[in-house]
Structure 1
Amino acid sequence: VIIIDFGSQYTQLIARKIREQNVFSKILPHESSLATIMAHEPRAIILSGGPSSVYEKNAPSYDKEILDLDLPILGICYGLHILAQHHGGCVESTGKGEYGFANISVNGGSQLLNSVSNGSQVWMSHMDRVTKIPDGWSVIAESSNNVAAAIASVDSKRLATQFHPEVSHTKYGHQILKNFLFDISNCEPGWTAGNFIQDQIDIIRDRVGDRSVLIGVSGGVDSSVVAAIMHKAIGDQTRAVLIDHGLLRKNEAEECVHALQDGLGVNIHLENESDKFLQKLAGVTDPEEKRKVIGNQFIYSFERVASKFGNMDYLAQGTLYPDVIESGVNQGNAAHVIKSHHNVGGLPDDMEFELIEPLRELFKDEVRNVGKELGLPDKLINRHPFPGPGLGVRIIGEITQERIAILQEADDIYITILHEEGLYDEIWQAFAILIPVQTV
């Protein structure tokens, strides 16, 4: 399923909710051409929400031929407005929107709302509304404020909701997406961890051949799963290296080496490069600049270490799908860069390696599922996310050895308490931050 992104804060959530139903989804920018979209051979298309108004001159551009495809299309919020306007309906600002919970009356007549109870709760977030639906379309649900909450074309290939089925606040959101995927779009639930692993093994073997791959590991979930997949695919053609940039958590380098070797059976080469990183970071205070400095130095360090092993052709790393999206890489000209990532937007142009990124299209929860399928120990799989730049982006302001030591101790105390109280696995992410001012 292709999701066309019109700037919604929930776009990634749409993709995740579809994948939770074992259907692969991919996000593309709104200006993607018809040819680009069809190259992915989609079974269906979803138009995301967004902050714009379809009647404004600066509304996001899109290839209007997409809306005439012989494929099921679901519009969500702003996506509803696009479909309604394109097919001759009218969208206007009412001066007051709907924000928060609402209840809908289901009128029936569409598979999209099968098994959705009348009066069920949904989540609204819009200022504009459809004041006239296209000819031949029907209102299949209304909100308590008499807003068209869902509409459908006569052939049921064009469907849209004013509310957000992807958010947990919409009680039957999972069911609505399920209806669209399987009853309307005839998708197959083949997106599983096992299938993903086998596909990646085949891709890696075909691409690498008999050449060698350097694996950058950190002890985190992402790089551990990459190491496991690479080892399973090409075995002794890999060399796993942990670069200690001096910005890891307390005792983390040694713990990572032991955990990876015990958990994966892969020998890890530990290289202490902390002096080089700290030298490059001296005087750097901007977080974005820190990421780029660290990303560049990582590559230079890997290239130097690789020379010890002879000719290494590839570098495998744990780039995830959110890294790519947030960095605006391959997302089109209008993509908004939230932040660069040390392994996406912070790599030098002259690096000697070709990149292999087996997890590039996965979200974090999918990576954990792949790790479980590979048999990695829970201690590795359940580690809290830790950024590649490490404590470098958790120290606000200049990075010094003294400030690193302070944060390492504070973070260690905090995380130890969470473990002792049985809270660590109940929390998605917890960490300490060092700021450059007194707070008390």
Structure 2
Amino acid sequence: MVSTSQPIPSTDPSTQSEKVSDRPMIAIVDFGSQYSELIARRIRETQVYSEVMPYYTSAEEIAKFRPRGIILSGGPNSVYAPNAPHCDPGIWDLGIPILGVCYGMQLMVQQLGGRVEQADRGEYGKASLTIDDPTDLLTNVDDGAVMWMSHGDSVLEMPAGFTVLAHTANTPCAAIANPERNFYGVQFHPEVVHSIGGKALIRNFVYHICECEPTWTTESFIEESIREIRSQVGEKRVLLALSGGVDSSTLAFLLHRAIGDRLTCMFIDQGFMRKGEPERLVKLFKEQFHIPVEYINASDRFLNLMEGIIEPERKRKLIGYEFIKVFEEESRRLGPFDYLAQGTLYPDVIESADTNIDPATGKRIAVKIKSHHNVGGLPPDLRFVLVEPLRKLFKDEVRKVGTVLGLPAEIVKRQPFPGPGLAIRIIGEITPERLEMLRDADLILRQEINRSGMYNELWQAFAVLLPTVRSVGVMGDARTYAHPVVLRFVTSEDGMTADWAKVPYELIGTIANRIVNEVPGINRVVMDVTSKPPGTIEWE
């Protein structure tokens, strides 16, 4: 896909906002929580649609979406702190069930006349929940269930009409309710995996309190998307930049089912793919899937561009800018095209929208760690109308769509691969020789991970080359002075946080032995055991 640090603006006004659907949905009001996306995913796991909205969205605007329920997220602030984010008080008069989570609960209490103050003792991590009222919100949540806490403030006085549903040793009001108005609050985070019973609580809110039906299914999404694509595109042609990843491949299958051969896929080989991947991808799409693919070999062009480039962010930006140039040239040659298909996902929409902009200061709340792989956007004179049918989906939902559409497991379950490819897995300058070393080492790693049956248990498994480092070794009674390669194995749910994977020593030993014996120029193998945070998954 052609991606930017911000979504490419469309010339079609109808794509500027989501259409209001008749399907049941839950609105999530985001106060800057790191878990807001996770709340949305947990709602969708109940087969009910959800959307994240910035905290300053007006009650009138929220009501336009006709939500069956509203969830107020957690957040890093105190409700009494200067410039603390507050929601529109009008939401309390919408007649819609509301669940406040952590900061969201404290805000509910404060705005409805209760009292919140800094607790004598904060509560962080796991806490045992004592249930005082097991009905409604806490049905099927076991007494003593462990919940994940993260708060320094506590509710000291509840608003009129509220009762306590549960408490912990340090928090007298761990869960509260006003059943008459359908207002609920929890001081813990039911959306995180550490909260035992959290999923049951969410299901209670979605099904029993909000009375939603499970209509958000993979099959219904595909049917609806095909109708929308056909309605938007008509008889015109669509161009898609194919990367071979699950997002663009799923999008290609979906578009091809909707419009057939009026779809053209363009695969730009920048020379930083893994061994044999470009050839295998093009053959797969053309011969097995019968989807038209234009193969553009621009590897020499990108490699020349990288000469002397060391700094990681500059690598990413140069590759992104050059990708856009190649795309522009080739789309003009193959065109004309009225529509450009992008594999934009819902996290991209959330992160690039103004949900993370403070309206009071205009400053971005989130800190940028690194830019996306294609930075800068399309040239202003190259105008497309965007087709983005995946923009409502999370990654796991895209995989489900791909499976139903018939994508093979090797694509659907493909581990994430960075847009700049191996260019950011070579620390320092990129040369043809270094690329070949890393490709060979990477191939060995993937072969052995597949043989072990662990591929699908890992979020990512890859090798990193350190060509600026040399170490002494001995091979065949001769001294060597060659490079190390780093093995990186991580587990994760969504890539936002990750832990290094405890891969069996025997597997690590097999990989290391093969690499030093089969890859010239490498004489040492080490392993990265850093989690995210404090590290990142990729090295650059």
TM-score class normalised by the smaller sequence: over 0.9
Q: Among residues 32, 53, 58, which one is paired with 1:28 in the alignment? A: 53
Worse overlay, 4-13 or 230-239:
4-13
Cα distance, 1:37 vs structure 2: 2.5
Change (3 A) 1:340 1:356: farther
Please name the residue that 1:362 is paired with: 393
Match of 2:443 among 408, 412, 415: 412
Cα distance per residue 1:214-235 (max 9 Å; x no partner): 1111211111100000100100
> Contact 1:340–1:346 (CA<8 Å) still a contact in 2?
no
1:426 pairs with 2:457: yes
Partner of 1:254: 279
What's the secondary structure of 2:453's corresponding residue?
Answer: coil
Q: Which amino acid aligns with 1:315?
A: L
Partner of 1:336: 366
Deviations 1:270-326 (A, max 9, x none): 111123333444455454444443333323222222233331122212222223334
Shift of 1:368: 0.7
Q: CA contact under 8 A between 1:342 and 1:388: conserved in structure 2?
A: yes
- Counterpart contact for 2:28–2:70, Cα < 8 Å: yes
Q: Residue 347 of structure 1 corresponds to which residue in structure 2?
A: 377
Matching of residue 81 in structure 1 with residue 106 in structure 2: yes
1:201 counterpart residue number: 226
Superposed counterparts of 1:41-440, under 5 Å: 41-108=66-133, 110-326=135-351, 328-331=352-355, 333-334=357-358, 335-336=365-366, 338=368, 339-342=370-373, 346-350=376-380, 351-435=382-466, 438=469
SS where residue 443 of structure 2 aligns? Answer: helix
Please state whether the residue corresponding to 2:404 is helix, strand or coil.
Answer: helix
Deviations 1:191-224 (A, max 9, x none): 1111111111111111111111111112111111
User: Residue 247 of structure 1 contacts residue 404 of structure 1 at CA under 8 Å; is this kept in 2?
Assistant: yes
Is the 1:103–1:120 contact (alpha carbons within 8 Å) kept by the matching residues of 2? yes
2:99 maps to amino acid: L
Alpha-carbon contact 1:110-1:156 (below 8 Å) kept? no
Task: Work out the CA distance in 2 between the residues paired with 1:412 and 1:280.
Answer: 25
The alignment-based identity, stated in percent, is 48
User: Counterparts of 2:31 and 2:156 in 1: how far apart (Å)?
Assistant: 21
For 1:360, give the aligned amino acid: R
Distance 1:251 1:6, change over 3 A: same
Q: Is the 8 A contact 2:86 2:107 kept in 1?
A: no
C-alpha distance in 1, partners of 2:105/2:96? 16
How far off is 1:409 after superposition?
2.4
Decide whether aligned partners of structure 1 residues 246 and 195 sit closer, same or farther in structure 2, where only a CA change above 3 A counts: same
Deviations 1:58-80 (A, max 9, x none): 31243232243211111111111
Farther-moved stretch of structure 1 (145-154 vs 164-173): 145-154
Report the alpha carbon displacement of residue 104 of structure 1 after superposing the two structures with TM.
1.2
Letter in 2 for 1:361: K
Deviation at 1:333, TM superposition (A): 2.2
Query: What does the per-residue CA deviation read over 1:320-353, in whole Å, with 9 as the maximum and x for residues that have no partner?
Result: 2223334x3343523525444345x642352433
| Rounded Cα–Cα distance in structure 1 between residues aligned with 2:252 and 2:36 | 30
Deviation at 1:34, TM superposition (A): 2.9
Q: Secondary structure at the match of 1:433?
A: strand
Deviations along 1:130-159, whole A, 9 cap, x unmatched? 111112111111113343110111415111
Comparing 217-226 and 290-299, the one that deviates more: 290-299
Measure how far apart 1:10 and its partner are: 1.4
Q: In structure 2, do the counterparts of structure 1 residues 355 and 135 end up closer, same or farther at CA, with 3 Å as the change threshold?
A: same
Between the aligned partners of 1:97 and 1:91, the Cα distance in structure 2 is 13
CA distance in 2, matches of 1:298, 1:38: 42
Q: TM-score, normalised by structure 2?
A: 0.76
Following TM superposition, by how much is the alpha carbon of 1:435 offset from its aligned partner in structure 2, in angstroms? 4.6
RMSD (CA atoms): 2.2
- Supply the distance in 1 between the matched residues of 2:63 and 2:428 (Cα, whole angstroms): 46
Structure 1 unaligned runs (5+)? none
Amino acid at match of 2:397: E
Distance 2:438 2:30 in 1: 38
Q: Which amino acid in the other structure matches residue 228 of structure 1?
A: F
TM-score of the superposed pair, with normalisation by structure 1: 0.93
**Cα distance between partner residues in 2 of 1:32 and 1:288:** 34
Work out the CA distance in 2 between the residues paired with 1:32 and 1:405. 51
Q: By how many angstroms is 1:23 displaced?
A: 0.7
Q: Which moved more, 1:269-278 or 1:227-236?
A: 269-278
Q: In 1, distance between residues paired with 2:452 and 2:278?
A: 25
In structure 2, relative to structure 1, the CA distance for the partners of 1:346 and 1:310 (3 Å cut) is: closer
3-state DSSP class of the match of 2:155? strand
Helix, strand or coil at the partner of 1:219: coil
Cα deviation for residue 261 of structure 1 reads 3.1
Distance in 2 of aligned mates of 1:437 and 1:40: 55
- Change in Cα spacing, 1:132 to 1:303, as seen in structure 2 (3 Å) is same
| Number of corresponding residues | 438
Deviates more, 1:158-167 or 1:393-402: 393-402
Greater shift in the superposed pair: 59-68 or 373-382: 59-68
Alpha-carbon separation, structure 2, partners of 1:263 and 1:10: 40
Q: State the AA in 2 paired with 1:363.
A: F
Structure 2, gaps ≥5 residues long: 1-25, 359-364, 470-483, 485-525, 527-540
Q: Aligned partners of 1:9, 1:409: CA distance in 2, in Å? A: 38
- 2:53 maps to amino acid: L
Given that residues 238 and 338 in structure 2 are in contact (C-alpha distance below 8 angstroms), is that contact kept between their aligned partners in structure 1?
Answer: yes
Higher Cα Rg, which structure: 2
The question of whether the paired residues in 2 share the 8 Å contact of 1:98 and 1:125 is answered with yes
Q: Distance in 1 between matches of 2:239 and 2:69?
A: 38
Partners in 2 of 1:286 and 1:346 — Cα distance? 18
